[in-house]
Amino acid sequence: MLHLFYSSSSFDFPLSLSVETLHVDPKLTSASASFQACQSEKHLGQFYTLPSAHFRPLFPHGLPYRYQQQVKTFNEACFMVRPPALEVISYLKKADYSKPALRYLFYGVKGSGKTMSLCHAVHFCYTQGWVVLHIPDAHLWVKNCKELLPSSYNSARFDQPLQATTWLRNFRTTNEHLLSQIKTKRRYVWTKRESTDEGRPLGELVNQGISRVKSSSDVVGALMKDLRLQSSQPGADFRLVVAVDGVNALWGRSTIKKENKSVDLEELTLIHNLKKLMKNDWTGGAIITTLSQTGSLYTPKSAYLPQELLGETGFDSMDPFIPVSVPNYSEKEFESAYLYYLDRKWLQHPQSRTEDGKKELSFLSSKNPSMLDRICGFL
Amino acid sequence: MAASLSGLLKPWTPRVFLVRWSRYNPYYLEPEVRKEAYSQPESELSAEEKEQRELKMIRPIKAAASGVTSSVFSDPVLSKFINMMMEHGNKVLAREIMTQTLENIKKKQVEKYHKAPEGQKEEIECNPYTIFHQALKNCQPVVGLESIRKGGKIYQVPIPLSDKRRSFLAMKWLITECRDNKHRRTHMYEKLSQEVMSAFVHEGNVIRKKNELHKMAESNRAYAHYRWW
């Protein structure tokens, strides 16, 4: 369903029309046709509603917390069509997938909508039937680790079973329909009695990781390697999208301590495998990432540019990448967000419906999406 | 040499002047914060208002308090409530709790609204401000009790309360109820929003306290003539 929020400057009241209610089927194929109709530059600033059949499997993790609460309150999930996400989607449509994977990086000030743009691009890939490897926040893997086990595969490294199992569970929810079709290419031996043979569906591998918590980090590594190798082959019938939020965590510092000695990032299996994925030596997919200062460790609050947050090593490893800047709302986008809140009965204060109130909102939030959301929360 | 030494002889004045709570000369006038008062054209003013304007051009004006704003969203009742909730001067925290309470109330109501069938949508009140004001009005007692000493004994005499006293009591009861009688692990905004929502429909502990006060006053009606003012 496409809601168009459109106000002309001469009128005081918003004109909200719901034009061309496209019938959205739960099945992916027909939904992708209607979804593509909505992703053009004519629809900049307007809201696109996610079908509820897509929302549950796609986003068990990865959305900002306040947005999840908003979805629960309004009983629907709406994304605003904004230029950064549209740009990345147009590149994804035109890219040559026989060449090495392109790396896209969303950057911007705090609260400008980087995670939402990432989720928008991921939803596009999901409708195209790609395999989605979405890491909700890489910072969560480098801090506050409750359990750290020495890795069974490589004795110098450390495993993080809890984080790995939660991630595998969410991965399974997202890619359920594709896991039974893709087969493993190698034989993996977990313990003396357990192994996964070649040619078994990937779903089995994932279930193995979830049930055997001790080897879950190794399962994650094996999964990433398998998917990477398979999508590179010319005969592969799927494409892989790797979406990482807070990618600057991979080259920063960690606060995990093992026996009062801080753990180096290279010694964590999950981070090691993720860094291997981020290299553009595989084909048949795309890597979409976001920078994030809020979760990052030992970085100043004012830093938001790629050079500052990735550091030297990070920038050199990510180079070459396509930086996409995510600015605050423009006038039109702010109008649209304001009208959306009015329509969903979120702006209740009588003064917020006046011109003066709107000007005050624009000033107080300085058109920053998250600040506008926080201010409209109590108005 | 005398010139440099005399610089040390000036009287000591503090670096920061506390202006607002010092005693202003009654000559000073109160500041006008509302934007609408300044956008009225000359013709709409009555004679008294013109006189007031003349006076303001001549007399000095007090500094505005930090709590008042010329924002269109400012609400004196809400500001008073936030000040009453504030502890150790931590206005930031008190305001944060208040905004979270309002957001919580609105969230619950809007969720109910979106899930309700078409016919019942108009009955659901979504505006947290109207809910809050109505809840406070519901909590206000009509009469209060005063201990009056007559003939060596102390009697609880029902007396009328001024509007200010009534609203103060309602707010005080709401805050103390939330601080003392709720489960200690819930957040203050959660406790407040539950209490406000129940006061809105005439339920909850604060309404019960108000009704008990009314009953006491009713039972002590015979002593009403002990009041001499």
Neighbouring-strand partners of residue A132 = A241
Are B71 and A360 in contact (CB < 8 Å)?
Answer: yes
Q: Report, as ranges of residue numbers, the positions in chain A whose pLDDT lies below 70.
A: 1-41
CB proximity list for B46: less than 8 A, separation 6 or greater: none
Residue-level pLDDT at B174: 95
Among B127, B120, B166, CA closest to B143 = B166
Q: Tokens in use for B22?
A: 């010092």
Taking only the tens place, the pLDDT of each residue in B140-161 is 999 999 999 999 999 999 999 9
Angstrom CA distances, A301 to A51, A136, A290, A291, A374, stand at: 36, 21, 16, 13, 19
Among A352, A66, A73, CA closest to B107 = A73
SS3 A234: coil
The CA distance from B15 to the nearest CA of chain A, in Å, is: 31
Among B87, B92, B67, CA closest to B77 = B67
Distance CA B106, CA B108 (A): 6
Residue-level pLDDT at B202: 95
Mean pLDDT of the region B122-135: 94
Distance CA A156, CA A275 (A): 17
Chain A environment of B107 (Cβ under 8 Å): 69, 73
DSSP string of A328-353, one letter each residue: ---HHHHHHHHHHHHHTT----GGGG
Among A367, A374, A65, CA closest to B95 = A374
Taking only the tens place, the pLDDT of each residue in A187-220 is 888 777 788 888 888 888 888 888 888 888 888 9
Name the residue facing B102 among A69, A73, A378 (closest C-beta): A378
Residue-level pLDDT at A38: 57
Q: Are A238 and A128 in contact (CB under 8 A)?
A: no
Are B110 and A345 in contact (CB < 8 Å)?
Answer: yes
Q: Are A6 and A46 in contact (CB under 8 A)?
A: yes
Chain B environment of A378 (Cβ under 8 Å): 98-100, 102-103, 106, 128
pTM for the model stands at: 0.85
Angstrom CA distances, B76 to A149, A240, B71, B81, stand at: 58, 57, 12, 9
The answer, yes or no, to whether residue B29 has pLDDT greater than 50, is: yes
Test mutation, A75, A345, A346, chain B, max B CBs within 10 A: A345
DSSP H or E stretch at residue A88:
helix A83-94
**Band (B45; pLDDT cuts 50, 70, 90):** low
Q: Are A246 and A288 in contact (CB under 8 A)?
A: no
* The Cα angle at residue B56 between residues B51 and B57, in degrees rounded to 5: 100
SS3 A52: helix
B73 in reach of chain A (CB within 8 A): yes
Residue-level pLDDT at A35: 59
N-term to C-term CA, chain A: 28
* The Cα angle at residue A80 between residues A74 and A81, in degrees rounded to 5: 155
Strands (E), chain B: 143-150, 153-160
| B66-102: burial string, b at 16+ Cβ within 10 Å, e else | eeeeeebbeeeebbebbeebbeeeeeeebbebbbbbb
Are A346 and B127 in contact (CB < 8 Å)?
Answer: no
Among A35, A38, A37, CA closest to A26 = A35
Chain A environment of B35 (Cβ under 8 Å): 356
B223 in reach of chain A (CB within 8 A): no
Are A378 and B106 in contact (CB < 8 Å)?
Answer: yes
The CA distance from B33 to the nearest CA of chain A, in Å, is: 16
Name the residue facing A348 among B71, B106, B111 (closest C-beta): B106
| B189-219: burial string, b at 16+ Cβ within 10 Å, e else | bbbbbbbbbbbbeeebbbbebbeebeeebee
Residue A340: burial class (beta carbons within 10 Å; 0-12, 13-18, 19+)? buried
Test mutation, A75, A347, A348, chain B, max B CBs within 10 A: A348
For B111, the closest chain A residue by CA position comes to A73
The answer, yes or no, to whether residue B44 has pLDDT greater than 70, is: no
Phi (first) and psi of residue B40, to 5 degrees: -75, 130
Mean pLDDT of the region B72-85: 94
